[in-house]
């Protein structure tokens, strides 16, 4: 099972990808998480990536393609994988096709999550995350405890540095310009599966599973 989660920031790629990962027993590979971990470690990649991420811009294609090439070689990807946040440009999609064709692997499904833009801004600016374990909270749907200490690990709960309104607006514009054209790219390959991303997390997950089981 090889799945791509495609959608604008906040459509639920990570939330739904993680649930699918548990369901199918395959890894959810989030390029955003890989980059945030590099930022936290202050590695050369992290220092470079932070500049792009905080500006709401994409990290350059050659960097991202290198990261995915290395990650897909790891043993846990043998049974399949979910890509959350990659590809994000046509150049990345072409590189992925090239990479996988060399391994005789093909992407089976591209889940395109659709949510109205005003709901996305609300979801993202309301998101909070644990700075230690990464657990997701949301001021609207799942508020953090009053002392802002994580329920799972006691770590400090913070706002992602790219979840302020200005950067969110930029991220949405970058998505429209650079990532939305991938819908046509995967439509041409008959892999695109549209899913309405509004409703509860469970309702969206049920829709995705039904599509995966029937297409």
CB nearer ligand AP5, residue 9 or residue 26:
9
CB nearer ligand AP5, residue 17 or residue 212:
17
36 catalytic, yes or no? Answer: no
HEC per residue, the chain: CEEEEEECCCCCHHHHHHHHHHHHCCCEEEHHHHHHHHHHHCCHHHHHHHHHHHCCCCCCHHHHHHHHHHHHCCHHHCCCEEEECCCCCHHHHHHHHHHHHHCCCCCCEEEEEECCHHHHHHHHHHEEEECCCCCEEECCCECCCCCCECCCCCCEEECCCCCCHHHHHHHHHHHHHHHCHHHHHHHHCCCEEEEECCCCHHHHHHHHHHHHHHC
Residues 6+ apart with CB under 8 A from 103: 72
Which string of x and - marks every residue 33-72 that binds ligand AP5 (by CB under 6 A)? --x----------------xx--xxxx----x--------
CB nearer ligand AP5, residue 104 or residue 144:
144
Tell the smallest beta-carbon distance from residue 162 to ligand AP5 (Å). 6
Report the residue from 31, 38, 130, 191 that binds ligand AP5 according to the rule CB under 6 A. 31
Tell the smallest beta-carbon distance from residue 40 to ligand AP5 (Å). 13
Report the residue from 2, 21, 32, 72 that binds ligand AP5 according to the rule CB under 6 A. 32
Dist. CA 71–CA 187, nearest whole Å: 26
Does the footprint of ligand AP5 cover residue 27 (CB under 6 A)?
no
Report the residue from 1, 48, 136, 159 that binds ligand AP5 according to the rule CB under 6 A. 136
CB nearer ligand AP5, residue 16 or residue 104:
16
- Please identify every residue annotated as catalytic: 13, 88, 127, 160, 171
Question: Which residues of the chain form contacts with ligand AP5 (CB under 6 A)?
Answer: 7, 9-15, 31-32, 35, 52-53, 56-59, 64, 85-86, 88, 92, 123-124, 127, 136, 138, 141, 162, 171, 200-201, 204
């Amino acid at each position: 099972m090889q799945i791509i989660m495609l959608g604008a920031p906040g459509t639920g790629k990570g939330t739904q990808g993680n649930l699918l990962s548990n369901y199918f027993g395959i890894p959810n590979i989030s390029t955003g998480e890989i980059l945030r971990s590099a930022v936290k470690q202050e590695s050369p990649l992290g220092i470079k990536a932070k500049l792009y991420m905080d500006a709401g811009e994409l990290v350059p294609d050659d960097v991202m393609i290198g990261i995915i090439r290395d990650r897909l070689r790891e043993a846990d990807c043998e049974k399949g994988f979910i890509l959350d946040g990659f590809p994000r440009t046509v150049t990345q999609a072409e590189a992925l096709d090239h990479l996988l064709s060399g391994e005789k692997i093909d992407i089976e499904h591209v889940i395109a999550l659709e949510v109205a833009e005003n709901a996305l801004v609300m979801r993202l600016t309301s998101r909070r995350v644990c700075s230690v374990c990464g657990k997701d909270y949301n001021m609207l749907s799942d508020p953090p405890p009053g002392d802002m200490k994580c329920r799972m690990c006691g770590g400090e709960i913070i706002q992602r540095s790219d979840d302020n309104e200005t950067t969110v607006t930029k991220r949405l514009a970058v998505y429209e310009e650079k990532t939305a054209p991938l819908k046509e790219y995967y439509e041409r390959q008959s892999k695109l599966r549209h899913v309405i991303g509004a409703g509860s997390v469970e309702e969206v997950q049920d829709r995705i599973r039904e599509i995966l089981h029937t297409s």
